């Protein structure tokens, strides 16, 4: 009986370690990495936005390697023709897997949780838990993801309004806009902005509200001058052409035709430190999962 108990105890003690050893089960050391994912831009002046974020993130996490990916294949192909290679999110994750990263925080540099963000999340799921691959991938939320973000972004926008704006002058921001349900963030943001400053408007180039929706609202304010600002991370093609370009269908031309005086400030949201703070806070929340 005594012998039996000893064997039994021995089995209990030894079995788990055998099972562990059978999978070459030496536990890998945690190797943390950061992947920053943006839509991308091929406009050289827009790079300042990305450099700004890159610098801030590296300052915030000095010991953690930072990788970049652009989700837009059109932009990546354009850049490739100029000799600049940028990875897709899948390519960046494959490289990081090869380099032995076990825990990766992927920070979305998108503005809302739209289609691009949904696609990113799906790609990340595919990479998590591959044999010998990454153990944990955590996503950092886009700029506008929660009620707190809504309040923080409102504050940041109001702080970044053009210094030269005089009393009674209106400001129109151009968001991207999307057929995705998350488009409602733009209207919600306008509500929050107008609670603080009724002369600030939010429109979109590819969703709702459109510039045509805004025109009667602007006319009602009887302001002679409208300031235009992009509400996109970079002041790229949409900002330079659809917002402030000289083509007849740009917002500048459309509003000029309505009799408004126009001035544009072409700075992407990622050029403002108070906006980057919001993305960096989301990244900190993601990294906190790895402690």
Beta bridge partners of 36: 68, 107
Per residue in 49-63, is it b (16+ CB within 10 Å) or e — as a string? bbebbeebbeebbee
* Helix locations, the chain, DSSP H: 2-22, 47-60, 73-81, 89-98, 115-127, 147-159, 184-196, 211-221, 237, 251-257, 273-287
Given the residues 26, 103, 176, 238, the one annotated as active site: 176
| DSSP conformation class of 30 | P
Is-contact 86 108, C-beta < 8 A? no
Closest CA to 180 of 121, 231, 118, 114: 114
- Farthest CA pair distance, the chain: 100
- Residue 222, φ and ψ in degrees, nearest 5: 55, 30
Is residue 192 among the annotated active site residues?
no
Is-contact 232 112, C-beta < 8 A? no
Interior angle at CA 143, CA 213 and CA 85, nearest 5 = 105
Catalytic annotation, residues: 176
């Amino acid at each position: 009986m005594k012998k039996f108990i000893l064997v039994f105890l021995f089995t209990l003690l030894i079995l788990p370690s055998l099972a562990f050893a059978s999978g070459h089960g030496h536990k890998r050391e945690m190797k943390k990495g950061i992947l920053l994912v943006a839509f991308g831009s091929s406009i050289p002046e827009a790079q300042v936005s990305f450099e700004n974020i890159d610098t801030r993130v590296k300052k915030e996490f000095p010991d953690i390697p930072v990788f970049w990916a652009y989700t837009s294949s059109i932009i990546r192909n354009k850049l490739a023709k100029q000799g600049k290679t940028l990875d897709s999110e899948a390519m960046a994750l494959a490289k990081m897997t090869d380099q032995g990263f076990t825990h990766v925080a992927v920070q979305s540099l998108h503005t809302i949780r739209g289609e691009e963000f949904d696609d990113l999340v799906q790609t990340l799921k595919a990479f998590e838990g591959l044999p010998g691959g990454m153990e944990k991938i955590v996503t950092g939320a886009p700029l506008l993801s929660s009620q707190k973000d809504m309040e923080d972004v409102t504050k940041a926008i109001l702080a970044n309004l053009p210094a030269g704006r005089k009393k009674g002058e209106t400001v129109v921001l151009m968001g991207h806009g999307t057929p995705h349900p998350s488009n409602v963030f733009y209207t919600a943001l306008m509500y929050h902005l107008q609670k603080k400053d009724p002369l600030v408007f939010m429109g979109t180039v590819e969703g709702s509200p459109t510039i045509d929706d805004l025109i009667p609202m602007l006319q009602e304010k009887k302001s002679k001058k409208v300031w235009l600002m992009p509400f996109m991370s970079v002041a790229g093609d949409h900002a330079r052409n659809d917002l402030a370009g000289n083509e007849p269908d740009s917002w500048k031309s459309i509003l000029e035709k309505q009799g408004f005086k126009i001035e544009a400030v072409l700075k992407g949201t990622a050029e403002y430190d108070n906006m980057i703070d919001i993305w960096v806070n989301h990244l900190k929340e993601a990294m906190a999962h790895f402690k």
